[in-house]
Structure 1
């Protein structure tokens, strides 16, 4: 007779302040057969702090593919496994997706043990709309690809939540100013729950200046929260006025692109309107 499959627990751990560890998380980590951890040395110290003795198995971006079968075999043999990351909620820009997907496909129960999450923590204190938001994780490291991604997000109406590292934060903010404009509201949430936690809300242009003025504010781990694009419901007469002025000096395609930047209206819609005005 086949054993009853085990359970895969996805367990959130503190981002910095150890008091954010939930009692339920401590209980689960102490009861499972294996804890799959991103960095076993880091997680070993965390578990020792809470008096948890657990068998640790490394699971990180470089070995996740080869670990999936091992973990699935153990779960199907009836073992219970907890999945944790170095900090916060697993799988949010961290390893674990392949394991969770494989568990679902194998009919294995997957249980969340919720807790700290830096994107949600930053969003909650940002002062920006939270009813609809878009989590984009880390932007590309290089300026060219990063700007292309931001161009694709420029008209996104939902609040944007981004992650960034200390050595890329200034470049990311500079590109946000260039693509979104200096007046779009932004928030830096730095080192959340840690000793030097900082939450600063300013228009993007001022936020970049604030960051550049203080070397200390360019250290640590960052969440960027950015206001969504303004309402694109611009009066048709205003669209026609702006397009008319631009069409007097520019080709249709260029006029539509410039008008899009001015009005916050999708370029394709303005291009069609510009063609109609030109041919009128």
Structure 2
């Protein structure tokens, strides 16, 4: 006789607004046998709201390894278990990785139910490119380690997402300003889906000084979203330089145009001459195509 295992359901729970729970999640929570919960009180509130009565197994960072074995045994007895975190999507900066991995190794089916996630919700409303991003969780508590992490990410081209706490936000912003510079764009999303929800977009420099002077309230759960590193093109010419070149080349040779413009704008003559030659060739090509 083939032994049948139960299923592990990964169920996302609301990160603030209880109405964000999905119909499917409620349906599954009513059907499963056990709930593995990171926070007993929060889970009980959710269950009571939707009139669900289930056995809850404590499952947090301090007992994750021990209780993974316990839950695997339950699943192997053809019982179904739902994994829920304190809030949001389980395993995303929350316990559950070991349990999910063990389920795969034991050929136990893992079924994810999509739902709330603070990082993704904040990213979608950030106004910062979201086609490529990296999630770094919470920055380290100690400043030395925090700066080490930021230095490693300084040249990361993808959008960067951090979680941060209210009592560390000012220190972290100071470190971010030091390592990333003042001009990168950044979004600070606070209390997503809750009554005091706030999503602000600005430069790192402006955010730091607003927080430093207490003009923004440092409360609630915070998501930091920082634009990725963009390599500066030192050879890129400004509108003013291009205008000067355009005027002078109508009266002078390309070499003299480049020479005079280089002295006016304090820029290398060779770069200007190369630009003029390239533009001249492009213009000739366009005429031939017409």
- Tell me which structure has the larger Cα radius of gyration: 2
Question: Matches of 1:130 and 1:118 in 2, distance apart?
Answer: 14
Decide whether the 8 Å contact of 2:210 with 2:216 is kept in 1: no
Question: Matches of 2:102 and 2:146 in 1, distance apart?
Answer: 31
Number of aligned residue pairs: give it: 236
After TM superposition, the score normalised by the length of structure 1 is: 0.82
Alpha-carbon distance change, 68 to 215 in structure 1, aligned in 2, over 3 angstroms:
farther
Alpha-carbon distance change, 101 to 57 in structure 1, aligned in 2, over 3 angstroms:
same
Alpha-carbon distance change, 206 to 69 in structure 1, aligned in 2, over 3 angstroms:
same
Aligned-CA RMSD value: 1.4
Residues 93-172 of structure 1 correspond to what in structure 2 (within 5 A)? 93-172=93-172
1:93-132 Cα offsets, whole Å, 9 max, x none, are 0001110010011110000011000000010011000110
1:2-47 Cα offsets, whole Å, 9 max, x none, are 5410000000000001110100010111111000000112211111
Residues 1-280 of structure 1 correspond to what in structure 2 (within 5 A)? 1-214=1-214, 217-231=217-231, 235=235
After TM superposition, the score normalised by the length of structure 2 is: 0.79
Decide whether the 8 Å contact of 2:186 with 2:225 is kept in 1: yes
Question: Matches of 2:2 and 2:69 in 1, distance apart?
Answer: 18
Q: Which runs of 5+ in 2 are unaligned?
A: 237-290
Question: Matches of 1:233 and 1:97 in 2, distance apart?
Answer: 42
Question: Matches of 2:154 and 2:32 in 1, distance apart?
Answer: 45
> Which secondary structure does the structure 1 equivalent of 2:217 belong to?
helix
Question: Matches of 1:38 and 1:50 in 2, distance apart?
Answer: 19
Question: Matches of 1:216 and 1:63 in 2, distance apart?
Answer: 37
Question: Matches of 2:174 and 2:31 in 1, distance apart?
Answer: 47
Question: Matches of 1:40 and 1:4 in 2, distance apart?
Answer: 29
